[in-house]
Amino acid sequence: MIGFCNRNGALLLEEEIIVGIGDIKCGKGGQSIATYALGSCVGVCMYDELTGIGGLLHALLPFAKNIDMVDPARYVDTGVKRLFHEICHRGASPARLKAKVVGGAKMFEFQTNVEMEDIGTANVHQVHRELQALGIPIVGEVTGGEVGRTIHFTPGTGSIRIHASDKSEKII
């Protein structure tokens, strides 16, 4: 629950919408949509400021490779498209959509003989490709590094509060 006060000082409680790993949730206006512990996973917040409609995707891996079409939100390539369709179906205008991206950290160091992109970086790069293909600008981004992040997204304003595992906080 999230608490805030109205103009008269009365405490109002609002349910927070929780997004799990490989999940998408949508909301409107002043609702809070949150996802916890983004490590190498990536959180994509997409919204239309005029209607106040938005949604949050918590994607685990960059590509579905047609192996798991039952759960498209697990993957960036299918999840971004699904998020786009979900919020447009609720009344958001494709022409007004904006996005913010959080996560994509490099959480583990692996020794390999081949230089390869870590999962977090691959997730972020795929988000960029998918949003560019849809013509949706990225207006805020906090990605990379080596910290986990929890985000609280308000669709009506596009604001995201970010709490990192290193105790830092940021609003984008």
Query: Is it the case that residue 4 has pLDDT exceeding 60?
Result: no
Which of 72, 40, 39 lies closest to 57 in space, CA to CA? 72
What is the Cα–Cα distance from 104 to 159, expressed in whole angstroms? 19
Angle, alpha carbons 137-142-146 (nearest 5°): 145
Q: Is 125 exposed, middle or buried (0-12, 13-18, 19+ CB in 10 A)?
A: middle
The pLDDT value recorded for residue 65 is 78
Which of 162, 170, 153, 156 lies closest to 25 in space, CA to CA? 153
Work out the mean pLDDT of the chain and round it to a whole number: 89
Q: Residue 12 — very low, low, confident or very high, per pLDDT cuts 50/70/90? A: very low
Phi, psi (deg, nearest 5) at residue 121: -65, -40
Active-site annotation, residues: 41
The pLDDT value recorded for residue 111 is 46
Instruction: Please report, for residues 3, 56, 124, the alpha-carbon distance to residue 82 in angstroms, rounded to integers and kept in the order given.
Output: 31, 11, 17
Is the Cα dihedral 74, 60, 85, 66 positive or negative? negative
Domain 16-171 = CATH 3.30.1330.200: yes
95-123 core/surface letters (b: 16 or more CB in 10 A; e: else): eebbbbbbbbbbbeeeeeeeeeebbbbbb
pTM of the model: 0.87
What is the Cα–Cα distance from 105 to 150, expressed in whole angstroms? 12
Query: Is it the case that residue 45 has pLDDT exceeding 60?
Result: yes
> What's the rounded mean pLDDT across residues 103-130?
81
Contact assessment for residue 27 and residue 88, using Cβ atoms and an 8 Å cutoff = no
Q: Residue 67 — very low, low, confident or very high, per pLDDT cuts 50/70/90? A: low
For residue 19, how far is the Cα from the chain centroid? Answer: 9
Query: What are the helix (H) ranges across 5-159?
Result: 76-89, 119-134
